[in-house]
Amino acid sequence: MFGFNWLSILINVPITLIALTGHEFAHGWVSTKLGDPTPKMQGRLTFNPLAHLDIVGTLLMIFTGFGWAKPVIVNPRYYKDTKKGMALTAAAGPLANLIMAFIALLIYAILFAVNRKFGLGIDGAVEAVGFIARIFAVRNLCFMVFNIIPIPPLDGAKVLGMLLPDGAYYKMLQYERYSMILIMVLSLTGVFSSIIGTGVNIVMNGILNLLNLAVNLIV
């Protein structure tokens, strides 16, 4: 997506680490808030990316634009409503990526508007911030869209599970180990690219249109 040159890798590695760390921390934080001590006991309530890395998933994310981190282990027996608790915990990760993408683009929009209004003469800096902000946003949105695909063990399957009858939900989870192999194959062969690219473009354009409207109203 961004090319396989050293500059691209140098930019994408820290961005990837931030995206996956925020994603996994959000899973653990929500599960903890729902009464589950497991993420804290396993040291997952941290912003240290080393606690969340999955080598294969991280490399895929750096080079293809989507991948996964080491899953946060949760114990749904602590939830008052198992399916709802799992859905909320699962949704927290993609939501964290959406929020991070929005914040990055918001910072750029504010800097651009201030520079334009007050003539600060920092066009080069604004352009650089915009470049990084877009890459950061795209990376997070790729992670978000990939993870909301409703295939176990991705987050989308757990969110979908809240709407399924119990029998169908637990039947779906039984195939998790096989679907992980399918996900790796589809990722490496590029089958997911069009789906994720379309999803990222829709969300990205939505955020940019919203920010442009807000900036035009304020400035």
- CA 128 to mean position of chain CA atoms: 23
Tell me the DSSP string of 136-164. HHHHHHHHHHHHTSSSTTSHHHHHHHTTS
Read off the DSSP letter of residue 5: S
Alpha carbons 148 and 93: distance in angstroms, whole number = 9
| 24 in active site | yes
Distance of alpha carbon 138 from alpha carbon 133, whole angstroms: 8
HSE, side-chain direction, 13 A CA sphere, residue 72? 34
What single letter denotes the amino acid at residue 107? I
User: What's the residue count for the chain?
Assistant: 219
Which one of 21, 24, 44, 187 is the catalytic residue?
Answer: 24
- Token pair belonging to 52: 């969340």
Residue 58 is classified by DSSP as H
* Alpha-carbon gap, residue 200 to 154, rounded angstroms: 17
Q: Mind telling me the catalytic residues? A: 24
